[in-house]
Structure 1
Amino acid sequence: MTGLRRIDPDEFSARLDSVLEIYTAAMKPPPEQLSGRQAIMANHATHPGFTCLFAETDEGLPVGLAYGFHGVVGQWWHDVVHRALTDQFGERKAYDWLGDALEIAEVHVHPGHQGRGIGRALVKGLCAGRRERTAVLSTRDQPTAARHLYRSLGFVDLLTWFVFPGGYEHYVIAGVALPLTEEGAPGAGAAMQDVPGGSPPGG
């Protein structure tokens, strides 16, 4: 059996080795990228509204994780995606999606424990109780299990075939209105014009 446990930023930082182990098993990144990824993850733990869930076995072994935080101006992912959404759809749409968003940074399940609903439970648990207007994330723009999972939870594509600065892989930027609706329900997820909005800064 596997259960979910919420950990605070201090425990997250103290257990970065376990976090990286799951990330490496799931993503198989080049070894030379791991030190940089560790530094990025450590910095994420300092962001406002940081929250992390571990999926653990009965023995306390972490086999999955998901974490996110409140997106604000000055964060690299937030600024890059905000600029791209503004260029394509205008400032109002970018603000509707990113002006009050839970940015889901990482969701990973160890390959030996995939296919058991752990990823779904992690995403739902991460979003539960959040006060943000939306949740947003990026994932590889391929027909992966992760892409299918996010769609089944109501996430809609905001940008496709997107390449981050300095990168080469293609990603999809996806978002959903919070709270999450029943997966598979008609209208689950929100079209851009349907996201409950405010006024953009200065607007």
Structure 2
Amino acid sequence: MTGLRRIDPDEFAARLDSVLEIYTAAMKPPPEQLSGRQAIMANHAAHPGFTCLFAETDEGLPVGLAYGFHGVAGQWWHDVVHRALTDQFGEKKAYDWLGDALEIAEVHVHPDHQGRGIGRALVRALCAGRRERTAVLSTRDQPTVARRLYRSMGFVDLLTWFVFPGGYEHYVIAGAVLPLAEDTDDMGR
């Protein structure tokens, strides 16, 4: 059995090793990227409206996490995506999606615990009760379980085949109006 627990920015910082363990198991990044990723995650905890949830076993072992914050100008992801949306669709669409948004920065479930609804529960709980108008995120632009999950929760593609500055992988930028709609049956079965 797994339960969700909200953690504050101080506990998040103190448990960054656990966060990185889950991230590494789920994403399998090159080892040389981990120290940079750790610094980025630590900085995220200082953003306005930061909220983090751990999915934990009955013994308190974290097996999943999701966190996000209120996106504002001056944050790297926000600025890059705002510029790309503006360039492709105009300032109004960029503002409609990013002007009052929960930016979902990370959602990861340890591979040993995937397929049990933990990711869905984390995203739903992270978005529940938020005052922002929209939720936005980026995920690999591939037919992954994560992409199908987000679609089933009402996220729509805003940008596809997007490469972040300095990167090489293709991402989709997706958004949903809050509160999230009821799930659809688009799980790719």
Output the aligned Cα RMSD. Answer: 4.5
* Aligned-partner SS, 2:135: strand
* Aligned-partner SS, 1:56: strand
**Residues 36-77 of structure 1: per-residue CA shift (max 9 Å, x gap):** 000000000000000000000000000000000000000000
Q: Does 1:15 align with 2:18?
A: no
**CA distance in structure 1 between the partners assigned to 2:131 and 2:30 by the alignment:** 36
CA positional deviation for 1:13 = 0.3
* Aligned-partner SS, 2:107: strand
Compute the TM-score of the two structures, normalised by the length of structure 1: 0.89
* Aligned-partner SS, 1:49: coil
**CA distance in structure 2 between the partners assigned to 1:148 and 1:98 by the alignment:** 22
Paired residues for 1:23-34 under 5 Å: 23-34=23-34
Structure 2: give runs of 5+ residues left out of the alignment. 181-187
**CA distance in structure 2 between the partners assigned to 1:87 and 1:30 by the alignment:** 32
* Aligned-partner SS, 1:132: coil
**CA distance in structure 2 between the partners assigned to 1:166 and 1:29 by the alignment:** 16
**Residues 146-173 of structure 1: per-residue CA shift (max 9 Å, x gap):** 0000000000000000000000000000
**Residues 122-161 of structure 1: per-residue CA shift (max 9 Å, x gap):** 0000000000000000000000000000000000000000
Compute the TM-score of the two structures, normalised by the length of structure 2: 0.95
CA positional deviation for 1:103 = 0.1
Q: Does 1:143 align with 2:155?
A: no
**Residues 164-203 of structure 1: per-residue CA shift (max 9 Å, x gap):** 00000000000000001xxxxxxxxxxxxxxxxxxxxx99
**CA distance in structure 1 between the partners assigned to 2:144 and 2:40 by the alignment:** 24
CA positional deviation for 1:34 = 0.3
**Residues 66-107 of structure 1: per-residue CA shift (max 9 Å, x gap):** 000000000000000000000010001100000000000000
**CA distance in structure 2 between the partners assigned to 1:111 and 1:93 by the alignment:** 36
Identical-pair percentage: 93
**CA distance in structure 2 between the partners assigned to 1:17 and 1:167 by the alignment:** 24
* Aligned-partner SS, 1:5: strand
Aligned residue number for residue 3 of structure 2: 3
Aligned residue number for residue 189 of structure 1: none
Structure 1: give runs of 5+ residues left out of the alignment. 181-201
* Aligned-partner SS, 2:53: strand
**CA distance in structure 1 between the partners assigned to 2:159 and 2:32 by the alignment:** 29
**CA distance in structure 1 between the partners assigned to 2:32 and 2:96 by the alignment:** 37
**CA distance in structure 1 between the partners assigned to 2:132 and 2:138 by the alignment:** 17
Aligned residue number for residue 162 of structure 1: 162
Poorly superposed stretches of 4+, deviation over 3 Å: none
